[in-house]
Amino acid sequence: MSSEPFQNVILLPQTNQLLGLYTIIRDQNTRRPDFIFYADRIIRLLVEEGLNHLPVTPKIVETSTNQKFDGVSFLGKICGVSIVRAGESMEQGLRECCRSVRIGKIVIQRDEETALPKLFYEKLPEDIADRYVFLLDPMLATGGSAAMAIEVLIKRGVKPERIFFLNLICSQEGIDLFHARFPEVKIVTGAIDSGLDENRYLVPGLGDFGDRYYCI
């Protein structure tokens, strides 16, 4: 089972296997094919954990041996929303767990004059207000871009309690921001780093996730 060290955070069980996966992707000497492979494994775990927290209803089915099985069925529809570009790396992991899942995209970039996040583009399912949303972005540092993405979703009618923010690594500062502004949004993560450096990068972090996944 997952532990919950903070009110709105679901932390993956800190097993030796998970620690081994993070050791590989944090290593600056890990080659890009290996980085992608092991990052994808963690992403799949995050998606599975997010699905564990969706509501269900009892459902009885009949098996091939003509017996009754007391199971459950998911309630409601889901969709993924990636914060471009790094968030797009998590889309395939969601598709592997949820067939024909709909995916939306949000583009947020830092304004060079103000150093603040600025919304450039959004394309979301028309019925997103009726869905549970998995917001996808590998890293939660200061939380500025993710918070703006949450605001976009809320303006489109998504209830905060229906939003799950999936990321591989987050900071305490990012968690605090979400706890203060969006206490009902759940963060599903695999690691909570010790802090941010003078450039606002996660420490120990792993570098620029998007560059390592797509470019290097």
Give catalytic residue positions: 110, 114, 208, 211
How is 2-35 classified by DSSP, letter by letter? -B-SSTTEEEPP--HHHHHHHHHHH-TT--HHHH
Helix 144-155 and helix 172-181: axis angle, to 10°?
30
How is 148-190 classified by DSSP, letter by letter? HHHHHHHHTT--GGGEEEEESEEEHHHHHHHHHH-TTSEEEES
